[in-house]
Every structure is written in C-alpha cells, then in structure tokens.
Amino acid sequence: MKKINVRTKSKSYDVLIGQNVFSQLIKDLNKTDFKVLVVCDSNVYKLHKNRIDDLLNSKKNFYVYAFNSTERNKNLRNTGLIYKYLMKNNFSRKDSIIALGGGIVGDVAGFVAATYMRGIPFYQVPTTLLSVVDSSVGGKTGVNFLEVKNLIGAFYQPEKVYADLNFLETLPLKEIISGAGEIFKYAFLADEENYLLIRNRLAKLLSEKKFDENLFARCIKLKSSVVENDEKEISGLRKVLNLGHTFAHAFESTMKFQIKHGEAVIAGIFASLIVSKKLGLVSESELKKYLSDFQFLPINKKLFSIDLNTVIKFMKSDKKTSEGKIKLVLISKPGNVLIDVSVKEQLVKKSLEELFERFRGV
Ligand SMILES: NC(=O)c1ccc[n+]([C@@H]2O[C@H](COP(=O)([O-])OP(=O)(O)OC[C@H]3O[C@@H](n4cnc5c(N)ncnc54)[C@H](O)[C@@H]3O)[C@@H](O)[C@H]2O)c1
C-alpha cells in the first residue's frame, strides 16, 4: 500500500492506494457515531454489492444514495435530490458523505458536501482509473450547467482518499482508456525521466491491464505538488493540470457528452502538441516523437466528423478563456508547460484539421 500526504492551505489529508484499502475506511468510520451518506454510482453498487453492503451493515448510521453517473446527471437537479435526502434523514454538520464511484460521483458528492450546511466532511473512494489518478485529489468539485462543464462548483478538499485497486478490476476497456487520458498529461509535468517512466508504465497498463500502484502514486504526487502550491488556481500554476482540457471540454460539449472525458483529453493533448508545433515551441521531429511515443492511446473516431466551428465556439466560452481569445496550456518540452498562451482562433482551427488529418489514416 502507498500513502501520500497532501498538504493544502485548507486541509492536510492522506491518500491511500492499494488492494483492499476500503476495509480501512470501514474501520476508520466505525470509530465515530456520526451518520454517513454513501453517494454511490449505481453501476458500482451492482458490481461490488457484497463489499459495499459490508460497509453499510457495519454500523447502523449508514445511508445510501445511488445514481446513474452520467454527465447529464451531473447537475443541480441531482444535487437538489441529495440535499433533500440529507434533510429528510436529519443530517447535521458533524455527519459526513462518502463519494463511492468515478469522477462524476466524486464531483457531485463533493459539491454537496461543500455546500450542505456550508460544508460537511467527505471521503473519496474513487473506483475509476481517472478518479484514482486525478479527480479524487485536489478538491475541485462541481456540476455542469446549461451544457457548460463544471460551471458551478467549489474548491473543497476531502478528509481522506481511499483508492482501493480491487474496484478497478471491473472497469471496461473504454474506462481504462479514458483514465489513461489523464495519466498522459502527467508525462509532461516533470522532467524527461518522468516522461519516460509514465510513458512506459502507461503502455504496460494498457497492454497488460495491470493496475500499478507505483504509477498511480507518482501521478498523485505530481498532482498534489501542483495543488499544494496553488490550491485555488490563483497563481496560475494549477492550470498546468488543464493541459489538453480546453479542447477536451469543447469536444465534450459539442458532442453532447457522447465521448468520455479522458478520451477527449487524449485528443486535446495531441491537439495542444500540434498548436505548440505551429507556434514553434516544439519542432516537427519532436512532435513526431511525442505522437509516436503515445500512439498506443487511441483517438475516438467520432471526433473526425465534429463541427469545428462549434468546437471553437465552446472553446471561446470556456472558463479558461478571457476577452474572447482562446487561452491554452501548451508544451515546449516535458517539465516546461506554458499556461495562458493566447492563440488565434484560426490557428486553433488549423491545428484541429491537422490533428484529424494525421490520425485519420492511423
Ligand atoms: N474534480 C476534478 O479534479 C476532476 C478531474 C478530472 C475529471 N473530473 C470529472 O470526472 C468526470 C469523469 O470521471 P470518470 O471518468 O471517472 O467517469 P464516471 O464517474 O462517469 O465513471 C465512468 C463509468 O464507469 C463506471 N464505473 C465506475 N466505477 C466502475 C468500476 N469500478 N467498475 C465498472 N464500472 C465502473 C460508471 O458507472 C460510469 O459508467 C467528468 O465529469 C470530469 O469532469 C473531475
């Protein structure tokens, strides 16, 4: 088992990664008499019923609220239903929430925890690859609003994260690929050695489907070192974690969420590399090397017929843009990520055309 301590200004907490760390959560919570609402992905509940029931039966004050975790359900209507459930069962500020599921459950349950009675404790139990390596750590919570991703939200750190690798065993390949999208970005967030290590371990994960706690611990350490220095995206440092995401959010919105978030991130990072080349930040040979190093990451073919004008429209309305200009996170080399680079709309469009051209034949 690996343990990583995350120290932010608002909270210091541990992330446990390993087989069966879920049983540790049961032990930890049984030390208190407070009520606990398990906000659970309904798929995960079906697939891991025995283990989750062990938790629910371990004390009388456990409640469960399960929902179908889709982007459509990541909304204020759903949070309203959870507030009602908490009210009906007289949850007070001392009681807590467990988010048991992927990034959608974590973002929704975390936002409810951040706002119910101005904040109650919450625990993350991530069950997808993406949520283990990314969304369960760092305190971003929120919901979509009017087709815009994560428009309503709060920064709110969990009390503790229990990343139990046994849950990942039931993940379909599509979800593993989606999680790989968020791991991809970490390859560029530190030096060349880190790039190679992440590239090789990620390739192995996809070919052998073995979940590697050392790889996950590295990703979480990289994320926590960024979050510790810029918890609320004030200095701007945290924006490095958005590599590929301005594209990704626009792909998701244009496709009305008919693409997985991590799949959109894979295409978004490739697109950012192409923009970086067009601006002279990386050479054609460096670009070729990056594309070939990560060619094992597939591009969702539905993207090839996407309407580029709509993508650009969404990119201009993204939270990370200002005054109508498209601001992107770009790369000059691993460990040298540039934030807030203003890029002309036309160059972004040409880069997307080049992206689809390069990948259409692959
Ligand atoms: N808060 C953050 O910092 C942050 C960072 C990245 C992404 N996100 C958000 O995370 C969301 C995506 O998260 P996700 O990719 O985990 O998606 P998700 O929560 O929708 O889960 C994906 C699918 O996997 C299923 N699933 C979950 N666990 C499973 C398991 N163990 N076995 C089998 N199936 C399982 C779910 O039912 C769902 O169908 C997006 O909404 C994105 O905006 C948030």
pLDDT, mean of residues 313-341: 85
Residues 285 and 164 grouped into a single domain:
no
Kindly give, in sequence order, each residue whose CB lies less than 8 Å from that of residue 5, ignoring residues fewer than 6 positions away. Answer: 12, 13, 14, 15
pLDDT exceeds cutoff 60 at 174: yes
322: confidence class by pLDDT, cuts 50, 70, 90: low
Instruction: Evaluate: CB of 318 within 6 angstroms of ligand 1.
Output: no
Q: Tell me, what's the pLDDT at 31?
A: 82
Residues 28 and 104 grouped into a single domain:
yes
* Strand duo 336-343 + 326-333: pairing: antiparallel
In a domain, 282, yes or no: yes
58: confidence class by pLDDT, cuts 50, 70, 90: confident
pLDDT exceeds cutoff 90 at 245: yes
pLDDT exceeds cutoff 80 at 318: no
In a domain, 178, yes or no: no
Instruction: Evaluate: CB of 74 within 6 angstroms of ligand 1.
Output: yes
Q: Tell me, what's the pLDDT at 323?
A: 64
CATH number, position 50: 3.40.50.1970
pLDDT, mean of residues 110-125: 98
Pick the atom of ligand 1 nearest to 138's CA. 3
* Of 160, 137, 140, nearest in space to 150 by CA: 140
Query: Cα(354) to centroid of ligand 1, in Å?
Result: 29
Residues 155 and 7 grouped into a single domain:
yes
Q: Tell me, what's the pLDDT at 319?
A: 59
362: confidence class by pLDDT, cuts 50, 70, 90: low
Q: Which residue's CA is the nearest one to ligand 1's atom 39?
A: 69
Residues 14 and 124 grouped into a single domain:
yes
Residues 154 and 19 grouped into a single domain:
yes
Residues 152 and 296 grouped into a single domain:
no
Q: Tell me, what's the pLDDT at 238?
A: 93
Helices (H), 72-161: 76-88, 103-115, 129-130
pLDDT exceeds cutoff 90 at 141: yes
CATH number, position 319: 1.20.1090.10
Residues 24 and 147 grouped into a single domain:
yes
From 19, 38, 41, 49, give the residue whose CB has the most ligand 1 atoms within 8 Å, as the site to mutate: 41
User: How many independent structural domains does the chain possess?
Assistant: 2
pLDDT exceeds cutoff 80 at 227: yes
Q: Which residue's CA is the nearest one to ligand 1's atom 12?
A: 103
Q: Tell me, what's the pLDDT at 96?
A: 96
Residues 35 and 160 grouped into a single domain:
yes
In angstroms, rounded to a whole number, what is the distance separating the alpha carbons of residues 111 and 299?
31
* Of 94, 97, 95, 100, nearest in space to 22 by CA: 100
pLDDT exceeds cutoff 70 at 76: yes
Residues 156 and 14 grouped into a single domain:
yes
* Of 117, 132, 134, nearest in space to 35 by CA: 117
Mean of pLDDT over the chain: 94
In angstroms, rounded to a whole number, what is the distance separating the alpha carbons of residues 328 and 330?
6
Query: Cα(277) to centroid of ligand 1, in Å?
Result: 31
91: confidence class by pLDDT, cuts 50, 70, 90: very high
pLDDT exceeds cutoff 90 at 11: yes
| Residue 158 main-chain phi, psi, to 5 deg | -75, 165
Percent of the chain with pLDDT over 90: 86
Q: Tell me, what's the pLDDT at 30?
A: 81
Residue 182 falls in the annotated catalytic set: yes
Domain that residue 355 falls in: 203-209+230-360
Work out the number of other CB atoms within 10 angstroms of the CB of residue 357. 11
End-of-domain residue from the set 150, 170, 190: 170
Q: Tell me, what's the pLDDT at 124?
A: 98
Query: Cα(26) to centroid of ligand 1, in Å?
Result: 23
